[in-house]
Structure 1
Amino acid sequence: MARTVYSILDRHLVVATLYVAMKIAEFSFDRVRIPDGIKKQRPLRGIRHARTHLPLRSVLALIGMSRTRYHAWLGKQECGLDDQRCCPRTTPQQLTHEEYLAIRDMVTAGEYRHVPTGTLARLAQRLGIVFASSTTWYRLVRTHNWRRPRQRIHPAKPTVGISATRANEIWHVDTTLIRLLDGSKAYLHAIIDNFSRRVLAWRVNDSFIPSVTAELLIGAFDGSSDKPQLLVDGGVENYNNAVNKLVDSGILKRILAQTEIRHSNSLIESWWRVIKHQWLFLNTLDTVVSVRKLVAFYVEQHNSHLPHSAFKGQTPDELYFGTGDGIPEKLEAAKSQARELRVKTNREWRVLTLKSAKGLGAQQG
């Protein structure tokens, strides 16, 4: 009986104390925002103490706080947040913090400034750094406003053109002009294999020399029994005595784009845009020698190091020589392992976060 009386007296004392404190402070939670998370902890401690004597509903009604607001504050405190909108949501498949940092470092690294973001995602997989889709890379770049160490120019998406089924079936040949700082010109000639996108031969000259095409064709021809179809435009570099002799010898067949066939020579034209806007225009083009060195670097990167999205992670060299057949399967297996490790790491991180949040709440209580 005495214990009951004391319990009732304690309850009335708590009610009276809360009521007097609210009146003296002339404070109400009605339409008042408290942005400081530390200041929220004091009312929460008072509510937690009052709940030992009164129901939560009565305590909240007495101080003028809604249940929704109370539980929102309590949830933020348990997550260790100061004044965030809500607790961060985690999923088992989300990137780990280490993967996030690796993507950020590669996107902002100067050594990869010549690599497009989509190709960079494939390259990270080949290097075993991060196994995430190019869509994820683009989303992170957009969300965090990461700036590539260059000014990017996005060419229009090329239409679907002619497609080969094997290496050395169709070759594309063309010449492009590169303007130097002093107003002079450099001429870049190249031959690209349609099936593998491999640059078979190239040359940079300080003047336009039509006979270069024939010399490049001889250098690209490996003496095999294949008779490539040479897709060209109507330029004089493709229709001259030197090229005519090669065609007449029967080692290749010349086809005039958009005349003898409806397809254009867009594959090599799109590669011109890539090498110019992704690499050449990011450097000082002062001499033909410097242009030649820059082209040599990019061709070697393009052929041997940069995986192509259309080839499921293989490089042009690997597809051309047939040495990368196992690459797609290896990448898929590595992706699966990365997903499993990501789930495990995120679960462990969530458990540690909840434990630390509960420990912090116990200390504050």
Structure 2
Amino acid sequence: MTDPNSRIARDLLARVDRNIVPEVKRNDEIVRNFAEALQRQFNTCNTLLEGAEALVPGKTLLQGATLMHGGSAYEGLCVTKKIDFDILIVLNKPYIFTNFEVVRDSSNFFCLKWKRGNGLSDGAGYLHAAELQSKLFDELIACINRIGSVTGIRKVDYKKGLAAINLYITTDRGTNISVDLAPQIAARKWGECPDLTSLYSLPGTLQDHVRNLECNGSPIYFFSSAVPGRHANQHRLCNISFSMLEKEFLRSNTDVRDMVRLVKLVGEACEWKKYGLKSFLIKRVAVKYCSDLQTKTLWDGFRALLAHIWKELETNTIDGFFVKDQPVYQQKPHKVAEFRAALAEALGWSAEDVRRKLERELSLY
């Protein structure tokens, strides 16, 4: 029998499903229409050659690239109507993982050293990641500008971001949708990157999923030129992402997913984003401690997840889990202390307290 606190928590998530999810699904259809139109542009055989002022015939960096959809909408994690959609652009040859050796840099980011293939190089045998991203961004903008009318879309604006082209779609209904277009180099084997957590240390369901992906030759994790801050060898540094793994894990573990949703929902009401909390941090902690969470009710799991985040922050960061010695959360110590105090306060709330907080602070009801 479901405990009273979990019944209240389920009711809160059911309200999100009734009031938020339908709008997200409408926006998802718009984004898919745009993605299909963008994909068709990748093989039009125009490229921006060095020194040229316009696109000229030739093989594009985007030729043969494929799209993968990510973000909260595809993980069943949306808790507000205003969410970002992520489109991963998986590059084709020669920018494929088997052409590179991965090297861990002293910055704790990664470099891709050419083993074979003919592509952009920094002269020392490493992929010139910054130049690749710059050229890919230019090609993406050219593709966007070539797209004609798309069903449901009134206007598309864009700008270059650190990791992606940030799109701003205005629908025919006047709704605004944000979409990140992120070029990626996909790795399709687990053990071919230094300092990865052992496959056997991952949750069992995630191990099985990784093995299935390896058998199918599907992407498992990704590298992109999206490194914050200033570092030596900045031009060759790559960041690593496990977003699609987390997506599939949460989709197949709906109880843990709902615990993440509830933390996100409370985080929205409490404005924990001012402490630097992002959705992927909650997901990362949930995956790390899933063996504990999977044994609990929704309400107890929600509280356990809050407690795990609180505990992780004892070291002023959150462990990257998938990669050794990879902090994924960086804030000034006083911000972390304030965040831990806010988490401790939330741990003292009953489910009825949470209900009143959400009804007061969020327009979901």
Fold shared, TM-score > 0.5 on shorter chain: no
Larger Cα-atom Rg? 1
Q: Where is the strand percentage greater, Structure 1 or Structure 2?
A: 2
